[in-house]
Structure 1
Amino acid sequence: MKNQLIPLLAALLAAPAIAGVVQTTGTGSATPGATHLTYAADFEANTGLDNPWSEGGLLFTHTGLANDNGGCGYAGEFCVDLAGGQLYSEAFSGNYFATAGSNAYLSIRSTGAALHGIEFAVDSGYASIYVMWQTWLNGALTGSGKASLGAAGVGDVLGLRDLAGFTEVRVFAFDSASDNSGYSVPAIDSVRAFTVPEPGSLALAAAGLGMAGLRRRRVV
């Protein structure tokens, strides 16, 4: 019994570390099942297109364009040529956060505890949405990936989950799914981030129950 229990405990304790970043799509897809805190940002008050911008316990910055975002961070102001047939993103509502430039990215940082999940509406300045994302924990890269999210102007919700946590997400948008660098034009809105208090407590509790069961069997 002891030989069987030790690998089980090791797997439980290691689970948060080996789980890695899980990519999801759709509203609610990255919401933790456990009790959690939620941070929210919608950029409605950012009419000055500020960079950096702080809202709801999150800090937003971008590389690329100057701080005024070229006039393209506010839905309804100078971004879309309606007469030319362009449309606002169906995934966005009101203000949003965007940039453009060589290898330009949007950064979402926690101003407090590490995050264990995040989701946000995303669109692109290109005809199709090819997103590349990175997660960072205290300055160390912990994960990266890509998502093809269909036509620009429609948009979609991208979600990321990681039991080990992350303190920053970087979002790029290139013109091809194969690109890892180049001119990038990402845009985001409706950010929801989640923190699960003490994410390793479940594994520790399970380990404790396993040891208690082992002690009871020995007594019997």
Structure 2
Amino acid sequence: MNTHNDIMKKTFAALLTALVTLPATAAVVQTTGAGSATPGATHLTFAADFEANTHLDSPWSEGGLQFTHTGFANDNGGCGYAGEFCVDVPAGQTYSESFSGNYFATAGTNAYLSIKSEGPKLHGIEFAVDSGYLNIHVLWQTWLDGVLTGSGKVSLGAAGIGDVLALSDMAGFSEVRVFAFDSASDNSGYSAPAIDSVRAFTVSEPGSLALASLAGLGVAGVRRRRKG
């Protein structure tokens, strides 16, 4: 049986291989599972965990990223604090262990969470994701300067368990939008997404990840158990 570290290493290796071998015009690659590229000399990492967002502000800037949402006005209707009932967690379960402390959430008709770079375009991003529904059905989009560059869907099981969603594209993107519907077949309707533990990076040169790998990049898990 694979250990948690084995799974993290395999996920990171798959994402690393995809980034190194993809041409600049390649489509977005979607990966799931815990595992995050460790910051190194050849790429700059952005990170956000929303712990300082005690008023549930939107827009919210942290770690070189800007977060906004559509849907609930002002304080997300109370969603975004650890311990708040913003995710429909099955009886006997707690929130996703990928979440800890404050997080970023919304709900509403076609509501989505937006993650934007405040500097250079991004080549990869990972974030813990959960849903206000009993099951997690995510629709994601990547954008570059206002132009849609990719989209996809992923089902991650029951809310309260959650998982990490990773997206990579060597052509780069400047924004990610995250929706969460109640069915894998839905493309619109009431949406209730939640994210935490965001990690993003940009690559200085197409081959820099390969060089970084040879230099001995490590793996850092982003799963953290919710406190309380």
Same fold (TM over 0.5): yes
Q: Which segments of 5 or more consecutive residues in structure 2 lack a partner in the other structure?
A: 1-21, 210-228
Given that 2:114 and 2:175 are in contact with CA atoms closer than 8 Å, whether structure 1 keeps it comes out as yes
Moved >6 Å (runs of 4+):
30-34
Q: 1:177 and 2:159 equivalent?
A: no
Q: 1:110 and 2:108 equivalent?
A: no
Aligned-partner Cα distance in 2 for 1:128–1:166? 28
How many residue pairs match? The answer is 188
Aligned-partner Cα distance in 1 for 2:88–2:142? 34
Instruction: Tell me the percent identity.
Output: 83
| 1:85 positional shift | 5.2
Aligned-partner Cα distance in 1 for 2:139–2:145? 20
CA offsets, 1:41-83, max 9 Å, x none? 000000100000000000000000012101011112454799x
Aligned-partner Cα distance in 1 for 2:203–2:97? 30
Quick one: which amino acid aligns to residue 80 of structure 2? G
Write out aligned runs for 1:104-183 (5 A): 104-183=111-190
Aligned-partner Cα distance in 1 for 2:105–2:87? 13
Aligned Cα RMSD in Å? 2.5
| 1:168 positional shift | 0.1
Match of 2:60 in 1: 53
Match of 1:209 in 2: none
Higher helix share: 1
CA offsets, 1:183-211, max 9 Å, x none? 00000000000111143889xxxxxxxxx
TM-score (norm 1): 0.78
Q: Which segments of 5 or more consecutive residues in structure 1 lack a partner in the other structure?
A: 1-14, 203-220
Q: Which has the larger radius of gyration?
A: 1
Match of 2:100 in 1: 93
CA offsets, 1:120-173, max 9 Å, x none? 000000010000000000100000000010110011000000000000000000
Aligned-partner Cα distance in 2 for 1:167–1:78? 31
Quick one: which amino acid aligns to residue 82 of structure 2? A
TM-score (norm 2): 0.76
Quick one: which amino acid aligns to residue 75 of structure 1? A
Q: 1:187 and 2:194 equivalent?
A: yes
Aligned-partner Cα distance in 2 for 1:20–1:80? 31
| 1:109 positional shift | 0.1
Match of 2:34 in 1: 27
